[in-house]
Amino acid sequence: MERITSTNNQKIKEWRKLHTAKGRKQAGLYMIEGEHLYIEAFNHHVKMEATIVTDRFLEKNSHIEATVIVSESVMQSLSQTETAPGIIAILPIEQPILPSQLSGKYILLDAVQDPGNAGTIVRTADAAGFDGVIFGTGSVDAFNDKVIRSMQGSQFHVPIYRMDLASLINSFKEAGTPVYGTALDERAKRHKEIPLTESVAIIMGNEGNGVSKTVLAQTDANVYIPIIGKAESLNVAVAASILMYHFVN
């Protein structure tokens, strides 16, 4: 077991790069923090590139198969949280392949940029039993630190893909899967008017601009959630949750 006490250690420098999209892409790795996410990864038999702990954490959790012990200051330098956890793990970024037959329930993100929103949508898709979440062009990196914290381990339960949505929609249609955009236009129907089907693809749009016109032009229909009160709009993660549970009821 390796011991590291310097924040200038080369491995520590390389791991800190995983806090950037460029660093994650180059290494093909990402970081999870805290015991809960470690346990989720362990229970799903994820191959860990490194398991990094402090002495204090290891004393209380001797069953953990740590590969590196670091000082408290090194752990703090790796962490993105105000109070550093006792354990961090470095994991490979998995790139699942979409099924050739696109049946099932999917949520598609068209330039959803807020990490908290994206992570919450993945977590809700997991809870609602959806078959996958597809991050489209312009969406936040699914392995961004804040997205990871917001997902709370759901990335181990539901496949996450990154693809161009415009080129993907026809594949859903060819499989007989209806594709619904979220927009208030002449083709829009109230969400409860949409028939429930075994397969569905729901597209959620950018927080400020909504679903792009290019994508909306390809949908089978568009849906909206009526607002009864005086709020101008719903948060995209809240709207996604309502729609996902509509299609599983």
Instruction: State if pTM tops 0.85.
Output: yes
Question: Where are the domains positioned within the chain?
Answer: 2-92, 105-248
The predicted pLDDT at position 186 comes to 77
The predicted pLDDT at position 185 comes to 80
The predicted pLDDT at position 55 comes to 97
Give the tens place of pLDDT for each residue, 194-242: 999 999 999 999 999 999 999 999 999 999 999 999 999 999 999 999 9
The predicted pLDDT at position 97 comes to 93
Our CA angle for 130, 219, 111, nearest 5°, is 65
Choices 2.70.150.10, 3.30.1330.30, 1.20.120.1200, 3.30.56.10: CATH for 2-92? 3.30.1330.30
**Domain 105-248 adopts which CATH fold?**
Alpha/beta knot (3.40.1280)
How far the first Cα of the chain sits from its last, in Å, is 50
Residue-by-residue DSSP string for 142-168: TT-HHHHHHHTTGGGTS-EEE--HHHH
